[in-house]
Amino acid sequence: MALPVRNNSRQVFRFIRTINPPRRFVCAAALSPEHQEPPGGGRVFSGIQPTGVPHLGNYLGALENWVSLQHRYPSVLYSIVDLHSITQPQDPARLRSNILDMAASLLACGIDPERAILFQQSKVSEHAELSWILGCLTSMPRLRHLPQWKMKSKQRSEGSVGLYTYPVLQAADILLYKSTHVPVGEDQVQHLELAQDLARIFNNNYGDLFPEPRALLSSTRKVKSLRDPSAKMSKSDPQAMATITITDSPDDVALKLRRAVTDFTSEVTFDPETRPGVSNLVTIHAAVASISAEEAVTQARGLDTGAYKKLVTDAVVQRLTPIREEIERLRSDPAHLEAVLARGNRRARELAAPVLGEVRQRVGFC
């Protein structure tokens, strides 16, 4: 919205306050007892970037576990981490759409906003402020040694400051809610270790405040690319046939699995080292059918890999169809998705503000 040129500075200031009302910073005196510590049994936090609809690997490796955790822990927060997403260039309109798509996907996969707080990270500004404070406690060599910085900065020749420091924001995401448990993949363990280190550093400097969060490693094997089974399945894979999204039609799923890389041996066996392509199909089959890899191989007895792909296709389609249909239903009602996120944002701020207030008091801001 453009301002008339003749507006004086006082009118401009009133306008800015109208669209962006001032925040009241909370200090230790405002802490209420229920916000001092997570409830008994621990608090789980995890986040996912709004980079479009999740793929099959996201669902089997993380989201299924998220659904389970909301029934096992008394306090669970899941964040759509849009602040993290802009470490890579984003089209603003696409980002807005992706945030709602991710909300729809999480709900369709089984996240219950009555059991878990589902919210949009950028709507809780305490994340960014705590990240700055923790960044001032983090050495540059500590960040340079994290593997994802090395990998991503090489891919982009040189990375942005945001890409360099985003592990500190990850730590802030976790510590802001005094989280005790964080579901992570093996490639994220070192970033969780940074959060543990920063909890210790802050506590040593300013007194005990943050628990050291523990990793909850998923027992599900990683789903590999259908075109290159030495790599993880990824939404950024340039090969369209490499990745199954959870909204793929049955025909798309069948085509992608039919073209999945295997080998020249007909029999189905599970041997990830020497037969990664066939073993990836077994991993997918076992995961979507909720059986072991051994049981999947038993079901494949007498089938060649071509016939086995049809069996895996049927299992994947059966698992994804109700999710795909629910996503389509939710996408048709963006107002509902916005309302779910708005409620989650309020609930997240109710937890975040008192903790940041305590941090501000301890570091001397108030």
Do 277 and 297 lie in a common domain? yes
Q: Which CATH number do you get for residue 283?
A: 1.10.240.10
- Please report whether residue 239 resides in a domain: no
The pLDDT averaged over each successive group of 10 residues in the chain (366 residues) is 39 35 46 47 94 94 95 97 94 97 98 98 98 96 77 64 92 98 84 94 98 88 93 92 97 98 94 96 96 96 96 98 98 98 98 98 96
Do 196 and 69 lie in a common domain? yes
pLDDT at position 197, please?
A: 96
pLDDT at position 31, please?
A: 41
* Backbone phi, psi, residue 244, to 5°: -100, 120
pLDDT at position 41, please?
A: 76
Coil/strand/helix, residue 61: helix
Pairing verdict, β 181-184 and 214-217: parallel
- Please report whether residue 56 resides in a domain: yes
The pTM of this model reads: 0.87
List b or e across 173-197, with b for residues whose CB sees 16 or more CB atoms inside 10 angstroms. Answer: bbbbbbbbbbbbeeebeebbbbbbe
* 152 has catalytic annotation: yes
- Please report whether residue 234 resides in a domain: no
Do 190 and 254 lie in a common domain? no
Q: Which CATH number do you get for residue 178?
A: 3.40.50.620
H or E stretch including 153? helix 147-155
Range of the structural domain that residue 92 is part of: 43-221+334-363
Number of domains within the chain: 2
* 222 has catalytic annotation: no
Task: Say how far apart CA 12 and CA 152 lie, in whole Å.
Answer: 41
Do 355 and 315 lie in a common domain? no
The active-site residue out of 152, 154, 178, 309 is: 152
Do 66 and 208 lie in a common domain? yes
- Please report whether residue 16 resides in a domain: no
The active-site residue out of 123, 222, 224, 232 is: 232
Which has the closest alpha carbon to 153: 139, 165, 170, 171?
A: 165
Phi-psi region of 251 (alpha: psi -120 to 50; beta: other; left: phi over 0): alpha
Do 179 and 198 lie in a common domain? yes
Do 343 and 308 lie in a common domain? no
Do 78 and 213 lie in a common domain? yes
Do 194 and 217 lie in a common domain? yes
Do 123 and 271 lie in a common domain? no
Do 207 and 276 lie in a common domain? no
Q: What is the DSSP string of 317-353?
A: HHHHHHHHHHHHHHHT-HHHHHHHHHHHHHHHHHHHH
pLDDT at position 27, please?
A: 63
The active-site residue out of 235, 256, 309, 310 is: 235
